[in-house]
Amino acid sequence: LHWMSKPLEAPVVRLSLTAPPGVDLFANTIGMSVSPDGSRIAFVGTDSIGENHIWVRPIASPTARMIPGTEGVLVLFWSPDGRRMVAG
């Protein structure tokens, strides 16, 4: 009877990403990634002095926070378990 059951439909999610004040999104990068569980979005933003940093924002929040020590990053990816980011 499994073949008769209807497949579950994935919910549609729309997201608007606004840069924090003084941060330019994707100026010198191609860095944006949604966490494996879909709860967070990470992106690379360039500050007013031209330095790239990783920013992380929960999907349910309009506010992103900069991750200290991520200067100079160009691209990023979440690890498969979503506990950390791999950046280059």
Q: Is residue 71 over pLDDT 80?
A: yes
What pTM does this model have?
0.73
CA 46 – CA 26 distance, rounded (Å): 7
Could you read off the pLDDT of 12-65 as tens digits, one per residue?
A: 767 677 777 878 776 655 678 889 998 998 888 888 888 888 889 998 888 889
Structure tokens, 21: 């004040």
Helix (H, G, I), strand (E, B) or coil at 3: helix
According to DSSP, the residues that pair with 85 across neighbouring strands are 78
CA 48 – CA 21 distance, rounded (Å): 9
Q: How many residues in total does the chain contain? A: 88
Structure tokens, 9: 């439909």
